[in-house]
Structure 1
Amino acid sequence: MSGTETVLAAVTDEPLDPAVVDAFVWRADAGAVVSFQGIVRDHDGGRTVTALDYRAHPDAEAFLRACCAEVAERTGLRVAAAHRVGALTIGDIALVAAVAAPHRAEAFAACAELVETIKARVPIWKRQRFDDGASEWVGL
């Protein structure tokens, strides 16, 4: 990847490293790096969650890249996102998104926009597993 690229997007079954995503977006003119980590929590809707399984459409990374490119083009900022797929447990990071900007307000706004765009458009679905043995798909 060249130093002139403004977007990083990855879908992987490997654990995510937020430092890699943050490092991609940061440049000397950036006074703020705002990043988001979506972490597997132990509950949802009053039920105890024990694990999640994420599955992705074969073109999910292209969708993720398009979301990042759209936010980068609209804002003029460097953006990056990585989403994990496969079996995740409580505390694992499922999504990392980061934006660098000269000032914090624009970085916060762009990162929030990026996360919402990813959640709305990227074809990645999760199966929640509950402590009673039941499971449910979310996002189908």
Structure 2
Amino acid sequence: MLSIDNEGAITLPEALLERICAEHTDKEVELVIVDAKSMHALNLEHRNVDKTTDVLSFPIDDFPHAPLGSIVINYELAFQKAAELGHSAEEEITLLFIHGLLHLLGFDHETDHGEMRKNEEELIFRYALPKSLIVRTEEV
């Protein structure tokens, strides 16, 4: 189940996000859409990184009936990246959601051996999305 707190009041591909969520977990996932300033504050508070970012994941410790966690997406950065790369903001938000969900499911591209990238690529292919966050980052 997906619950959405859309602070930016932007158009979201809710049906697709709910489908992706339901295909990967039966636990509740919270999606929070924020602006760049709010994301900067979260990144500083939780990661001690003094800049904004595009997506953050906050898993919840596993106990009976606990939600899986929260995914926070910076809609301003998502819109900017979508325009820069020539795809829709909805596609970018879906890519960021997939990335965040995989983190909630325990994957970590910074420490694994390509498992997160493989899963992300499979989902991107399944949903006909543009290049993943991990692939774009690795190309830089």
Same fold (TM over 0.5): no
Structure number having the greater helix percentage: 2
Larger radius of gyration: 1
The normalised TM-score by structure 2 is: 0.32
Compute the TM-score of the two structures, normalised by the length of structure 1.
0.32
Higher relative contact order (CA 8 A, sep 6+): 1
